[in-house]
Structure 1
Amino acid sequence: MTRLRPACFISTGSVLIDLPLHVGRFPAPGGAVTGVSSGPMVGGGYTVVSAVARQGTFAALAATLGTGPNSAQVRESMRVDGIELLVEELVGDIGTCTTLIEPSGRRTYVTTEGVEAEPQREDLERLDLMRGDWVHATGYDLVHPSSRAVLVDWLLALPPGVSLVVDLGPVQPDIPDEVLLPLLRRTSLLTGNHLEMTRLAARMGAIEEIREACPDALLVWRTGGSGCVLWPVGQDRAEVPGFARDVVDTTGAGDTHTGVLVVGLMDGLDPVAAAYRANAAAALAVARVGPARAPRREEIDALLRQG
């Protein structure tokens, strides 16, 4: 069968509007603090798909948007980044995530729910998936009852040749075994930060049990400024060094890393080379404020030339 389009990265991760507030301290119960706002930003599942699009790779969103102003802000970002929306909108609007950011970097989140929690099965079943495509899913959507009820069966039924990348995130402990274990068996790339993967290993009993649960997956431990650790199928674990940069905001760095890593694999790079590019992208992202600040391909190339 002749391919009618290039390979595509498709994210099912729900999109929110981030409302970051920098505060001097977290308020005591009943107290008050003054926060400094950098304004509303498109975040949530948008960060990873924008990271892919900024590499010049075909990227699309299969997450529900609404008819309100929050969704309009997302659509404007999609227009700028060249991202296609693959599903129908619903009447209503997507939610927000207000983040209190303390000087230490500790974050406290308050999230409101909107139509992003209501993926439509018929929309997903209409997607024309092809060999070479990558589908992205997040733990947040696997925890929420309404989105989990739709997404899990669809993800498990992805056609052969379509790769699945899963980022379980900090909510991994809340994903039931009957959901988690079948998804891990279908996963092509499992990624998480060091704490998240350590907690998953504790849940499974040992790091080796993660490998057994994901027989066909590239495993990725993101280790911040140190880079990442890879465990490809049938190979030993390998450390891939990171890049030293002043950290301004770590929001979205993990999603940036994931998006650029997948692009490298889609480009035919071996996992180590793809991860090295992803480490460079994450280093550039943390030097900027906001969740969706992934660098473009040429910016990563310039950093790699510096060595």
Structure 2
Amino acid sequence: MISRIGERLAQAQDHHADAAGHSVISLGHVWVDIMMDVDGFPKTGGFAVSDHTNATVGGSYRVMQAAARMGVHAAHAGIIGTGPWATIVRKALDDNGIAHIGQDRLDTDSGFRLVLSDEEHRKTYIATYGAEAQGDGTTFDCVEPQPGDVVHISGNTLMDHTAAGVDEFMHRAGSDPATRGYAIVLNPTNTLSLVNDHLLEDLVLARPIWSCNRQEANTLADRLGILRDDDMLMTVGGGFDRSMAELCQALGETLRAPLVVRAGSRGAWVRTPGGEVAHVEGHPVKATHTRSAGAPHTGTLCAMLARGWSLTDAVRIANAAASLAIRDSVNGVPVCPSYEDTIALADGDADADESIPERK
């Protein structure tokens, strides 16, 4: 028996002759994370021993990996250097079928970060920037999205010289999403508070699809001067769902752009310009990971948009992918599931919800 999600997928593929032929193109940075578990952080001049160390590729790589696992062509438009860290990055991209369409630097290596996690799972980051952060206004001239493509922009590209390239791309994209033919998904990350006012204004004027977690949404609201009730800052407990809906409504009205506000196992709140806020349920799962599932969620969202899904349906499927990514985490890093497993979980959610909207 074909599920309703399966039926809509077939309709999407009929409508777009080859929906999976569309691409997800990321303008984000990619680096290597060296994750170290420590009992506690030493004082200045002190000493600590890590009982577990693991090197993984981080940054926007996880977004592209998720898109590729959803059966969509993924491409990295950022800069990769030359050296041991860059070699790890290139191998990860190759192993996952992710194309590198960006620039190569021969004079410097890619960067890396030390991620120190203590026994209470508090994380401390120490970053060494490399080639990925040494761009300029021409960095993304190579990006020429085709109709139906999705361009992913992460907040990690908005704080260094590469931000000039993002700004130039946004100027090319224009301020009317209806005339682009492709979508832009902007995941601001927790660094949004450090983005300069001029660039933030250009990002808002371009009216991308914003995908934020609750903390990022509140930071963006603060930057935009949006007044909120104290109840909107509540933690999980009494009134959480209402506060999330009100945050999504207030922020969406100011941005005048599609908005997704994620809240882990509670799912996400979605608003499109002129529309009402919709809550898309998540899938509770035991939290055994030390990194968030924001990247698998964002990558799956981008892939589903490239496949022709409506924003709400894309979020529903992304919620399922994020839940499975946490369940299947490896060394504390959520791993995006296969397309088939994701659709199977989302199908069950759709069968239990008669109000699931039709594909647009």
Return the TM-score normalized by structure 2: 0.78
Indicate conservation of the 8 Å contact 1:51/1:292, yes or no. no
Q: Between Structure 1 and Structure 2, how many residues are aligned?
A: 303
Seen in structure 2, the aligned counterparts of structure 1 residues 148 and 246 have a Cα distance that, compared at 3 Å, is same
Give 1:112's match in structure 2, choosing from 104, 119, 128. Answer: 128
Indicate conservation of the 8 Å contact 2:167/2:202, yes or no. no
Q: Partners of 2:112 and 2:30 in 1: how far apart?
A: 9
Q: Secondary structure at the match of 2:158?
A: helix
Unaligned runs of 5+ in 2: 1-16, 175-179, 227-246, 350-360
Indicate conservation of the 8 Å contact 1:186/1:214, yes or no. no
Seen in structure 2, the aligned counterparts of structure 1 residues 265 and 129 have a Cα distance that, compared at 3 Å, is closer
Q: Which runs of 4+ in 1 moved over 4 A?
A: 120-123
Give 2:83's match in structure 1, choosing from 63, 68, 72. Answer: 68
Letter in 1 for 2:214: H
Residues 177-203 of structure 1: per-residue CA shift (max 9 Å, x gap): 211022112132101110110122123
Indicate conservation of the 8 Å contact 1:19/1:98, yes or no. yes
Identify the residue that residue 94 of structure 1 maps to in structure 2.
110
Identify the residue that residue 136 of structure 1 maps to in structure 2.
152
Letter in 1 for 2:270: L
Q: Partners of 1:297 and 1:33 in 2: how far apart?
A: 41
Indicate conservation of the 8 Å contact 1:250/1:285, yes or no. no
Letter in 2 for 1:293: V
Seen in structure 2, the aligned counterparts of structure 1 residues 239 and 214 have a Cα distance that, compared at 3 Å, is same
Identify the residue that residue 235 of structure 2 maps to in structure 1.
none
Residues 238-296 of structure 1: per-residue CA shift (max 9 Å, x gap): 11111111122242511111111122222222222211111111112223035472112
Q: Partners of 1:65 and 1:28 in 2: how far apart?
A: 35
Indicate conservation of the 8 Å contact 1:250/1:286, yes or no. no
Indicate conservation of the 8 Å contact 2:39/2:119, yes or no. yes
Indicate conservation of the 8 Å contact 2:137/2:168, yes or no. no
Seen in structure 2, the aligned counterparts of structure 1 residues 267 and 168 have a Cα distance that, compared at 3 Å, is same
Identify the residue that residue 169 of structure 1 maps to in structure 2.
189
Q: Partners of 1:211 and 1:188 in 2: how far apart?
A: 11
Matched, 1:180 2:200: yes
State, as a whole percentage, how many aligned pairs show the same letter.
Answer: 30
Residues 37-71 of structure 1: per-residue CA shift (max 9 Å, x gap): 34211111111111101111011000111121211
Seen in structure 2, the aligned counterparts of structure 1 residues 62 and 191 have a Cα distance that, compared at 3 Å, is same
Identify the residue that residue 3 of structure 2 maps to in structure 1.
none
Larger radius of gyration: 2
Deviates most, 159-168 or 193-202 = 159-168
Letter in 1 for 2:336: A
Q: CA deviation at 1:103?
A: 2.5
Unaligned runs of 5+ in 1: none
Q: Partners of 1:55 and 1:260 in 2: how far apart?
A: 7
Q: Partners of 2:265 and 2:315 in 1: how far apart?
A: 13
Deviates most, 32-41 or 236-245 = 32-41
Indicate conservation of the 8 Å contact 1:47/1:292, yes or no. no
Identify the residue that residue 163 of structure 2 maps to in structure 1.
148
Q: Secondary structure at the match of 1:93?
A: coil
